[in-house]
Amino acid sequence: MFVFILRRIFQIIPVMFGVTLAVFLMMHLLPGDPATIMAGERADPEQVEQMRENLGLNDPLHIQYFNYVKNALQGDLGTSIRTKRDVADEIFDSRFWITVQFAILGTALAVITGLIVGIISATKKYSFTDVSLMVFALFLLSMPNFWLGIMLIYLFSVELGWLPVVGSGSWKHYVLPTITLATAGAAIIARMTRSSMLEVLNQDYIRTAYAKGVNDKLVIYKHALRNALIPVVTVVGLQFGGLLGGAVITETVFAINGLGRYIIDSIRAYDFPAVQGTILVCAVLFVFVNFLVDVAYRLINKRIDLN
């Protein structure tokens, strides 16, 4: 297991090189001049040129990339054009942890709900229960997040007055955004669990276990579910990585000051360092989540070889 983890860590290095290069080049391809924006609209050409020199924009592109990676490794993601604060401080002071909390809660709810629904559907194949659950899952999957969030606010906040409308603070603020974030993920996990479980339940070793008189619950939860979890874990990893990247629509609807809302505000203000820093953090998080998914594969089934 140690060799496997070490091999995966070494494989992350070229991936991270590609990620940093893509983020760096992407920002250079966007319209607008960071030096002009930072110097101000009324700045004269000499001031703009001095700003370009201070930002290192006059250096060759490969030198700029080298300096960007070196600064990023030291935790320096640049200075926000809007607030004049360090981008790393703005991200990690509160926004990052708010997004992480909602990502964990949303993923946990999606996994619990999706697994339960998927297992019930698979064990009651082609029954009314199976069809009803899958139709409902398809309905949830087709429902836009922003519409669901607005409907939840209208019902539970405006009409019933049970939960707060926007913001974050007490546990009540987490209920509606968590449900909104978990809905689509739960539907995907439920459908994937059902499909994977049906495939596993048709295997010879499952039929043999039933023929030997093994308890139904033991067959389903110990033998079938464990082997059916591999594709489900992949989906969970992608869902969690996406939520860590900032659930833009959900954070906007519920006025949550997380990474998604921060990056939207930065794009509107042409805040190049903030956009670049946030995208880099999100990309690194996604790579790390994929690494954890690979480790989870081996923990679920040690016979899997992911060379």
Average pLDDT, the chain: 81
Highest-confidence segment of 120-124, 224-228, 235-239, 294-298: 120-124
Residues 59, 93: Cα–Cα separation, whole Å:
32
According to the model, what pLDDT value does residue 246 have? Answer: 58
Burial class (CB in 10 A: 0-12, 13-18, 19+), 33: middle
Stretch among 109-113, 145-149, 165-169, 232-236 having the lowest mean pLDDT: 165-169
Provide CB contacts within 8 A for 269, sequence distance 6+.
81, 82
Write out pLDDT tens, residues 204-248.
777 787 777 777 777 777 777 777 888 888 888 888 877 876 577
In this prediction, residue 66 has a pLDDT band, given cuts at 50, 70 and 90, of confident
According to the model, what pLDDT value does residue 109 have? Answer: 92
Alpha carbon 251 to its chain's center = 13
Query: Is residue 139 predicted with pLDDT exceeding 80?
Result: yes
In this prediction, residue 113 has a pLDDT band, given cuts at 50, 70 and 90, of very high
Query: Is residue 28 predicted with pLDDT exceeding 80?
Result: no
Residues 23, 3: Cα–Cα separation, whole Å:
31
In this prediction, residue 303 has a pLDDT band, given cuts at 50, 70 and 90, of low
Provide CB contacts within 8 A for 142, sequence distance 6+.
none
According to the model, what pLDDT value does residue 1 have? Answer: 65
According to the model, what pLDDT value does residue 290 have? Answer: 81
In this prediction, residue 112 has a pLDDT band, given cuts at 50, 70 and 90, of very high
Provide CB contacts within 8 A for 49, sequence distance 6+.
35
Q: Write down the H helix ranges in the chain.
A: 2-29, 34-39, 45-55, 61-73, 87-90, 96-123, 128-142, 145-152, 172-201, 204-211, 216-218, 225-244, 248-253, 259-268, 272-300
According to the model, what pLDDT value does residue 245 have? Answer: 66
Residues 84, 78: Cα–Cα separation, whole Å:
10
Cα-based angle 259, 191, 235 (whole degrees, multiple of 5): 40
Query: Is residue 307 predicted with pLDDT exceeding 60?
Result: no
Write out pLDDT tens, residues 49-59.
777 777 777 77
Residues 43, 151: Cα–Cα separation, whole Å:
47
Query: Is residue 102 predicted with pLDDT exceeding 60?
Result: yes
According to the model, what pLDDT value does residue 204 have? Answer: 78
What is the mean pLDDT of the segment spanning 240-257?
Answer: 77
Q: What tokens appear for 280 in the block?
A: 């880099």
Domains in the chain with CATH codes: 87-300 (1.10.3720.10)
Residue type, 123: T
- Angle, to 10 degrees, between the axis of helix 96-123 and the axis of helix 172-201? 40
Upper half-sphere CA count for residue 229 (Cβ side, 13 Å): 23
- DSSP-assigned letters across all residues of 18-46: HHHHHHHHHHHHSSS-HHHHHH-TT--HH
Query: Is residue 306 predicted with pLDDT exceeding 70?
Result: no
Write out pLDDT tens, residues 187-197.
999 998 888 88
Query: Is residue 119 predicted with pLDDT exceeding 70?
Result: yes
According to the model, what pLDDT value does residue 82 have? Answer: 78
According to the model, what pLDDT value does residue 279 have? Answer: 84
Query: Is residue 305 predicted with pLDDT exceeding 70?
Result: no
Write out pLDDT tens, residues 152-172.
888 888 888 888 876 666 778
What is the mean pLDDT of the segment spanning 11-29?
Answer: 80
Query: Is residue 284 predicted with pLDDT exceeding 70?
Result: yes
